[in-house]
Amino acid sequence: MIVFFFFIPAILTFLIGLTDMDYTLEWRWVGLKNFYQMLRDRWTPKIFNNTMFYVFTTLGFFNVGTALLISILTMHIDEKVGAAFRAIWLLPRITPSTVYALMWLWATRGEATSLFNWILGFLGIPPIEWRLQAPWLLVILVNGFVGASFGMIIFTAALKSIPVDYTRAALVDGASTFQMIRYVELPLIKWPVMFVTAYQTLSLLTSYEYILLVTDGGPGLYTTEVWALYSYHMAFQIYGGGSAQYGYGAALSAILVIIGLILSTIYWKVFRMGELMIEPKIEVD
Phi and psi at residue 215, in whole multiples of 5°? Answer: -125, -20
pLDDT at 236 over 90: no
Average pLDDT of span 63-74: 96
The predicted model scores a pTM of 0.90
pLDDT digit string (tens) for 19-54?
988 887 888 999 899 999 999 999 999 999 999 999
pLDDT at 8 over 90: no
pLDDT digit string (tens) for 117-158?
999 998 989 999 999 999 999 999 999 999 999 999 999 999
- Give the pLDDT confidence score for residue 245 in this predicted structure: 86
Select 2-278's CATH number: 1.10.3720.10, 3.30.70.100, 3.50.50.60, 2.40.128.20.
Answer: 1.10.3720.10
Average pLDDT of span 171-180: 85
Could you state, in order of their start, the residue ranges of all structural domains in the chain?
Answer: 2-278
Give the residue from 40, 32, 5, 56 showing the smallest Cα distance to 266.
Answer: 56
How far, in Å, CA of 230 to CA of 225, rounded? 6
- Helix, strand, or coil (residue 254): helix
Mean per-residue pLDDT of the chain: 89
How far, in Å, CA of 61 to CA of 55, rounded? 10
